[in-house]
Structure 1
Amino acid sequence: MRAPARRPRVRSAALAAASALLLGLAAAPTAGAAADGHHRPATLHELAREHGRYFGSAVDNPELTDTAYADLLGREFGTTTPGNGMKWYATEPQRGDFDFTAGDEIVDYARAHHLKVRGHTLLWHSQLPDWLTSGTWTAAELRAILRNHITQVVKHYRGKVFAWDVANEIMNEDGTYRENIFYTTLGPGYIADALRWARAADPTVKLYLNDYNVDGLGAKSDAYYALIKRLKADRVPIDGFGLQGHLALQYGFPAGVEENLRRFAGLGLDVAFTELDIRMILPADATKLAEQADWYGRITEACLAVRRCVGITLWGYSDRHSWIPAVFPEEGAALPWDEELRHKPAYDAIRSALSGG
């Protein structure tokens, strides 16, 4: 159980660190072992590993050409997720014509830096190739297409990824099924089928459902809880639930995060924060950065408090390559490193939580 005074201390420290950052006094990125043999600080992944967790960051292929960024990713983290390289448009750009170039590049990078890889994602309503979305498919045709896609991609990466986001963002905010191409043609049974096909293609990989706005208690996470309970009762293979964690200060911290993690863990699942970032309305200031840091600390603490919470993945670790400004104009500064790869107060809050305060 957390000490009652812990969060105020983290927030106070975060406010001081935020002020220092804005004055240009932020700490430099964590370095490797010093040439004189002095001990280097433990990385976030090393601290997480002491709790039996991983700490990772997503990466997109163009970012690997940013040497400083790629080197820091390889030093600080224990896992990575390809931001786009394993999505359908990249892996099957033409029907039956598979291209694993982008995903393989990230797998090779990860192997060279001793990182494990989360596979993302086999089935999603977005970033589908034109041949699929523009086609008119019977249920039998689309079922065969979906089965072949999942089978080929999972087989290719068998032994190279430790988990798959099998189905991504399949629910609406009110807990109804999203009417994507698969749901409207095949009905809700496509979800169980996808999980079964993924298991047949790789008997050992962890299979996840993954979504945003499910971090706390609410209609959307309730719907996933009910769905997964039914899947388990029907003996459908499912190992984990991914809470993306795309949060925004202006909407408030999600309610019941730890309780939510516990109820999914109670179904016999692993849970993980899979795409964590915490954005704010720009410009950033000391108060916003302190609140952001507090939230990062609270998410980390919630994961540590639940035994089946296996790890945390940032959706990119630095504001230098964040997806947010392009999608949410006037928002950003969402990650624990700034654009110059310097630590922000959020980094210190994560570190503090992993170190026990």
Structure 2
Amino acid sequence: MASTHQDNVVFEVNAIGWAPSGTGTALSLHHEDPARLPTAAVGHGHRPSGRYVVAAGRADEEDGLCQVITPGALKPRVTYRVAGWISVASGEVAEEDGKQQRGHPIRVSIRVDDGSCVVDGGAVCPQPGRWAEIKGAFRLRENPRSAAVHVHGPPAGVDVKVMDLRIIATDRKARFRHLKDKTDKVRKRDVVLKLGGAPGASVRVVQLDNGFPLGSCINGEVIQNPAFVDFFTNHLDWAVFENELKWYWTEAQRGQLNYADADRLLDFCDRTGKPARGHCIFWAVDGDVQQWIKDIGGDRDQLMAAVQQRIRGLLGRYAGRFPHYDVNNEMLHGRFFRDRLGDDVAALMFREAAQLDPGAALFVNDYNVECGNDPNATPDKYIDLIRGLQRGGAQVGGIGLQGHVTNPVGVVICDALDKLSATDLPVWITELDVGEPDEALRADDLEVVLREAYAHPAVQGVVLWGFMQGHMWRQDAALVNADGTVNDAGQRFIELRREWTSDARGRLDGDGQFKFRGFHGTYVAQVTTAAGKMLKAFTVDKGDAPLVLDMMDI
């Protein structure tokens, strides 16, 4: 598999060429024991050299290593991938609140025009003495007069180790060719329609729905907007409520319940025939917990009673209405309930929800897992969280990747999905918005994420976090302008939906068969013979063997 060629490497260094950053920093060159080299390859086929440099004597978090990038090597509007291996020296593990930390965040920054602009190039949090693969991305808006790579981040005194750092210009065309081949294997199946005794009869096959749902968040305001409703009903399959099901909305004041807003959105979904995800039962981040919950947070019994009442009230009311629930949102970034009620409360939330609504798939949901720049939200940490919930009896039914994306890089997203697929749980991108002020680049970025998701067998759906200008959390991510016109990103979205819809026509062969390869989903076939027309509805599900259908079996 090759989506990036060696010719696209614009910066590559094994060890020689680094300079110290910081007045006290000293660099030294080393060779790693071959038995301790990381086994994963950066990118495609690139193996670690074993030569690395250590930055010691760092007096500040900004101290570390730096190296100038050849002038003119970085171009504006090009997305670059950052790849390499990073570590900290073993034995340098800090103590925090009596617990041993697993490691320190190390960041790669691109400092442009003598440091007047600092661009994030990715971050990792390696365990001391072990190598971690850096997987970041960035893009420049203008031609830089100068640029340099900096590696920094840990506290003063922590030695930083860097091996084989590279910056690679992405090759979208090559990547997309690979993804189209992958999509054909993952999302399509051979179909044989049989009608004996009518060779040469005309056949028309039309796909009605795709087996891979695409959706959007909605709220009480946007469902009153005709342009929003038109795009939503014509181009999207699922919904999720932006705020109206969250606890701070349904019970802003203790004991004063408001389900009317959620009920109105459910009625809208029923009228338009769109299933809705349940987002969310709880939210783990302190800043998103309503004040009255914080006020009782010091009383364990009161808080536990409130948690139990929330689960019973919400799921008792809506059992069977939401196919999915995000149970305790953003646990990689928040611990409000676990800090006050113990780590076991997270699994308890899942267990109680499963009892009240056994038909719902119960999801974890978090952000930055797919982007490679948040040491708190790596795929490995997400898997650890899921395994811990499962050990506590939680019936985790799915993995939510929020997908609030900037500068997406396909192989980085794919790598995260590959790791998460080891859980054998379905993955949904639950809150996708791709932020980019330039509409043409936004369309390109959106296509990257959607193609990566659609081509990956672990992913079962994508939900946008809105799509209309003026009605979104991130205003530079719209697909539809405020006046209802569809912009470049929206047109790209529609084109992809069209590309992923099968439409076949032809004639029965001499054996009375018509063969085609179609995307998973629901279909209707029409066969026209001298005796008249014959219709058959059918569904193409996943499967390696051809799906054989007898048109006479109606």
Q: Same fold (TM over 0.5)?
A: yes
Which residue does 2:448 correspond to in 1?
A: 298
Report if the CA contact (8 A) 1:88-1:122 is conserved.
yes
Q: 1:20-60 CA deviation, whole Å, 9 max, x = no partner?
A: xxxxxxxxxxxxxxxxxxxxxx9xxx89x53x210101011
Residue identity in the other structure for 2:361: K
SS in 2 for 1:340: coil
Higher strand residue share: 2
SS in 1 for 2:435: strand
Report if the CA contact (8 A) 2:347-2:390 is conserved.
no
5+ residue gaps, structure 1: 12-41, 173-177, 325-331
Distance in 2, matches of 1:225 and 1:140, equals: 30
Which residue does 1:199 correspond to in 2?
A: 354
Which residue does 2:431 correspond to in 1?
A: 275
Report if the CA contact (8 A) 1:320-1:340 is conserved.
no
Which residue does 1:238 correspond to in 2?
A: 396
Report how many aligned residue pairs link the two structures: 301
Distance in 1, matches of 2:249 and 2:225, equals: 21
**Highest CA radius of gyration, 1 or 2?**
2
Deviation at 1:229, TM superposition (A): 2.2
Which residue does 2:416 correspond to in 1?
A: 260
Report if the CA contact (8 A) 2:297-2:340 is conserved.
no
Distance in 2, matches of 1:194 and 1:345, equals: 42
Report if the CA contact (8 A) 2:3-2:175 is conserved.
no
Distance in 2, matches of 1:149 and 1:187, equals: 18
In the alignment, which of 314, 318, 343 is matched to residue 486 of structure 2?
343
RCO comparison, higher one (Cα < 8 Å, 6+): 1
Report if the CA contact (8 A) 1:337-1:344 is conserved.
yes
Deviation at 1:136, TM superposition (A): 4.6
Residue identity in the other structure for 2:420: F
Residue identity in the other structure for 1:247: V
Report if the CA contact (8 A) 1:297-1:352 is conserved.
no
Distance in 2, matches of 1:254 and 1:9, equals: 11
Residue identity in the other structure for 2:459: C
Distance in 2, matches of 1:273 and 1:333, equals: 19
Q: 1:264-321 CA deviation, whole Å, 9 max, x = no partner?
A: 22212111111111123xxx4xxx3232222211111111122231111111111131
1:202-217 matches, within 5 Å, as: 202-217=357-372
Which residue does 1:316 correspond to in 2?
A: 466
Residue identity in the other structure for 1:119: G
1:119-198 matches, within 5 Å, as: 119-124=278-283, 125=285, 126-172=287-333, 178-180=334-336, 182-198=337-353
The reply on whether 1:225 has 2:380 as its aligned counterpart is no
Which residue does 1:18 correspond to in 2?
A: none
Deviation at 1:257, TM superposition (A): 0.9
Which residue does 2:144 correspond to in 1?
A: none
Distance in 1, matches of 2:385 and 2:332, equals: 10
Distance in 1, matches of 2:174 and 2:456, equals: 22
Report if the CA contact (8 A) 1:258-1:305 is conserved.
no
Distance in 2, matches of 1:64 and 1:290, equals: 27
Q: 1:122-168 CA deviation, whole Å, 9 max, x = no partner?
A: 11134433322223542232122112202211221111111011111
SS in 2 for 1:273: strand
SS in 2 for 1:336: coil
5+ residue gaps, structure 2: 5-169, 177-205, 502-554
SS in 2 for 1:106: helix
Deviation at 1:351, TM superposition (A): 3.9
Report if the CA contact (8 A) 2:368-2:403 is conserved.
yes
Which residue does 1:15 correspond to in 2?
A: none
Distance in 1, matches of 2:258 and 2:384, equals: 36
Deviation at 1:9, TM superposition (A): 8.9
1:101-120 matches, within 5 Å, as: 101-120=260-279
SS in 2 for 1:313: strand
Which residue does 2:173 correspond to in 1?
A: 8
Going from structure 1 to structure 2, the CA distance change for 1:79 and 1:94 (only over 3 Å counts) comes to same
Report if the CA contact (8 A) 2:410-2:448 is conserved.
no
- TM-score of the aligned structures, taking structure 1 as reference length: 0.76
Which residue does 1:93 correspond to in 2?
A: 252
Which residue does 1:333 correspond to in 2?
A: 476
Distance in 1, matches of 2:312 and 2:401, equals: 25
Higher mean C-alpha deviation, range 103-112 or range 290-299: 290-299
Which residue does 2:163 correspond to in 1?
A: none
Residue identity in the other structure for 1:121: C
Going from structure 1 to structure 2, the CA distance change for 1:291 and 1:63 (only over 3 Å counts) comes to same
Which residue does 2:215 correspond to in 1?
A: 56
Which residue does 2:224 correspond to in 1?
A: 65
Distance in 1, matches of 2:393 and 2:296, equals: 33
Q: 1:226-284 CA deviation, whole Å, 9 max, x = no partner?
A: 111232344421011111111234xx64762112123222212111111111123xxx4
- TM-score of the aligned structures, taking structure 2 as reference length: 0.50
Deviation at 1:211, TM superposition (A): 1.2
1:71-86 matches, within 5 Å, as: 71-86=230-245
* % same residue: 26
